Structure 1
Amino acid sequence: MYRFIGIEDLAANALIELLEKGDCRRVDFETLVKYGHAVISVLRENGDEATLLLSKEYRNELIRNYSDFFEIIHNEQKNDAIVLREGKTVEDLRNRFRAFLTLDCLRAFTNSKSLAELGVAV
């Protein structure tokens, strides 16, 4: 099966893990890309093909379509980051972004290889 992993699903799943394991409400783009590549690798190991949708156009769509959840913080000295808006919780993220994930995608997002790229222990 061929899958497309959008920046919104990648960011939401990264933030769920970061919040649960360290109360961090932001993920920088460099870390997000590494996490995404690990997720793709896990899916491929299980026989699925996948592509990340992370271009600037998809970043703009993220803000346009999910501005109630995310904002992008631009920083010249550090990487730009996606930040979870105040008032949004892990439960909000789970209900919106994990409720309809297939089990193999969920497993790829929460695989120890993927989580290692976020810097969170299993």
Structure 2
Amino acid sequence: LVLVYTGETYNYRDLRQRLAALGHRFYTSSDTEVVLHAHREWGHCDPRTAVSELNGMFAYALWDTAKRELLLVRDRLGIKPLYYYQTKHGVLFGSEPKAILANSLAERAIDLEGLRRALCSSSIADPY
């Protein structure tokens, strides 16, 4: 597993103790390492199980090298932003739109229907 993480997991000390009791060894004192171990322990069948254990404000990407799957996660309240863009070559993601737009694979066309919906309401419905 490879983890790219931003934010803060408030209950990481409790999770760390629980995971250590299950045999996990930690090499840092960071909440990031705890999130990674949580996915190893509780997320191998369903990643939502590991995510449900986390309390905090965070956004992260977890790449499962064995399954070749990417998981993008935000905290329950959406405090930490996470943007993504699907290309024919894969997925671009970042905590700011400019991170995606800096990549030449990101299309820079205005979706007029999406813009109309955004200007006419306080939210944008699927599939925009």
Q: Between Structure 1 and Structure 2, which shows a larger proportion of strand residues? A: 2
Q: TM-score, normalised by structure 1?
A: 0.27
Q: Between Structure 1 and Structure 2, which shows a larger proportion of helix residues? A: 1
* Bigger relative contact order (CA 8 A; separation at least 6): 1
Structure label with greater radius of gyration: 2
